[in-house]
A and B are shown apart, each in its own frame.
Chain A
Amino acid sequence: MATNRWLATGNFFTSYKEEQRIFLTNIDRLCLWLLIAALYAWPFFVETSNKGMLVLDNILIAMVAILGLNLVTGFAGLISIGHAAFVGVGAYTTALIASGLGTDHVFLTHAWPVVIVLSGMVGAIFGGIVGLPALRLKHLYLAIATLSFQMIFQWVINFSKLFNQGQTMSVGRVFWLTGKVGRKDHYLFWYFAVLTIVVISGFLVRNLLRTRYGRCLVAVRDNDRAADAMGMHPGFTKVYAFALAGFFAGIAGSLHCYLYRGAGIESFTLHQSISYLAMAIVGGLGTLSGSFFGPAAIRLLDLGVENLSSWSSTFLPSTMNIATALRPLTFGLVIVLFLMFEPRGIANWWRIIKSYFKLWPFKY
């Protein structure tokens, strides 16, 4: 039966190939393309502020990092408490290139896409190495291997002269077709650059999950013995899950380094790792859309509670610390309450909304 590719109220797949489509309906596809086009277009119509763009850049970079984290923790089920360290590996790769060649070397400023991919690869190598214990370790014990990597990473950066002992290592401004990207356009430029990378990465991950290797990850998460029996190699799968996570983290790190024009250890601490984990969980582990919702939600929440706190300080007595305390308090409260009522993350809401429209006018 030739089904209507625009409006499908249920699943009418007749072949496996149909189920494997990226978009279930043409409306899905159309909406996504429109969204992407809108994301590219809006800065031309609205006046942007540096702060606003910085916030957006940050969210987009976190999305790249969370794509990686979601692969390893969400799809492959391996908790990583060291994701910030992988991001750090990427950032420091870029920073090392800068300190080795000079902060304004052509390679760094003109061939920045190459540098970014290179940093991602270094991240992947480290990811693979840290993933090696996965051949033997399981569950939380494995999480601790990543924690150890986090601590060792911090120690190495903090103590070696090569990395400027954790102080900022700077990177120059990049060039684009229009010439040097100056301070005014810096954040806008990186908005487009990171957005492009997010779109590409999103499609990469979506396609990866349609392949045998993507399904391997899920199989290993659900039951690695069974996966083993079906001819997959659980150990190898885990290692490459880590390598992939390291790759995306490395790219995010390199972007972070370019955006902030330098790398310093403060941005890659254990605390940061935990907040990456928070983004992944709030977004929804094991879902692709969760990787986009999570960072946006957490970062915007953070901004929201900051505004709440500074707004409340205008009328709360400044002799007490209520306004300052309000910030961590509301942040925590929102997260806890959200998870109490929706433990599966925002992606679950998204799924429900989508089904609602799909099944309309029938009730979900």
Chain B
Amino acid sequence: MELRSRKFRTLYKTEVGNAQLRANLSKATLQAVDKRGQSFAEVDFKFLQDEAKKIKQESLSRLNDLLSQFEDSARKNNCRIFYAQTPEKANAYVLDIARRYGARTAVKSKSMVTEEIGLAPFLIRNGIETVETDLGEYIVQLAGETPSHITTPAIHKSRTEISRLFHDKLGTELNSDPAFLTAEARRVLREKFLSADIGISGANFLVAETGDIVIVENEGNARLSTSAVKVHIVVTGIEKVIPKFSDLRIFMRLLGRSSTGQKITSYVSLLRGPSTEDEKDGPEEVHIILLDNGRSGLLGTDHQEVLHCIRCGACLNVCPVYRNIGGHAYGSVYPGPIGSLVTPLYFGEQNAPDLPFASSLCGNCTEVCPVGIDIHHQLLAVRHEIKSAKKGGVERFIFRNYRKAMLRPGRYRLAGKIARGLSKTPLLRYFLKGWTQHRELPRFPSRSFREIYKSAKAK
């Protein structure tokens, strides 16, 4: 998708003023937070988090070797591998396959990486009908929007809004019963599955040891998209590879609980390539596209741990900033706390100068991250990099002079006295308008603590 994160300051202001949006988000995210909490009551979160973090650290520390190993395993399983440095290269590769097969329709299951590279719109522009088959993604596609959440793409919409959308686009009756709406979507999508030539999916994990492509989902659409087609194309990031099949025992217990509070998702597909001669179902060809797009630049840096992310969405659900502005405000395919890191780190800090600051650094994201990313301290580190790269400016001037005053207790006392003296004047209110537009100033006392302390001591 088009990166609009530079416009965050404008985008969030519209969203935060949308009461309906905030109500939708509040309901959905708090429900997810509650369910997550309940689901972890029965397992040792800290233990699993620690193990997952160790596996991810190990994987990234020898990523090149692991990728080669995965490549070998996948080739043995008759998959074809393509490394794409950029979105353009990944998209062109997919189009090439689609054209070779004379494909007219592609069915797609949910994948953030395909959103990142804008694959569906690209294929549609090139004459290939590309249908999102995850219910949330389908809703978003029908509405001509982009996902606003990593795991729940249509989280910003209420049932009523969805029923109106279906009514307008599909001609269904106005009925906001989720079962009815799901059945309508299923009816439309079933036709697409039957007529599709190619299926596109992401991958949650790639297992180096065995070549397994692991996909978790709840609707069965990913399984159909990957097995009821002639060609299956996997598009995923290079950081998704893990060493051993047995590592999944950790991730499987963490991922469902972190996203939706499920012990495990309804479907877990372990795919090893095209169908063999004795198999009746399955694709004839399987292609795996491994996307870099800024990822390898983080290897060996202080930000490497950001690549641990398994896209569970837990940090979005707990984030009160996300809850009040929604995913679209971020202007990036990756919203929320992790998005405020991934966006500047993958796509350039100059492209997301405000995102790392759009956090109160409350640390709730770090607390729930299943793979142990220290999200809020990473945000702080990126803030420092952004400020260090920029010379001059009003804010720097203020902080420099603030510091100068703080190093001289006498100046500090005087500055405090003046500020307190000015507290009832319009001048100070204007100077602090970021505060006073939305809140009252505290009632300024006539004496500071140190003045009180000093006079008491003198007595």
Q: Report if A and B associate in a common complex.
A: no
- Which B positions have Cβ atoms within 8 angstroms of A? none
Name A's B-contacting residues (CB within 8 A).
none
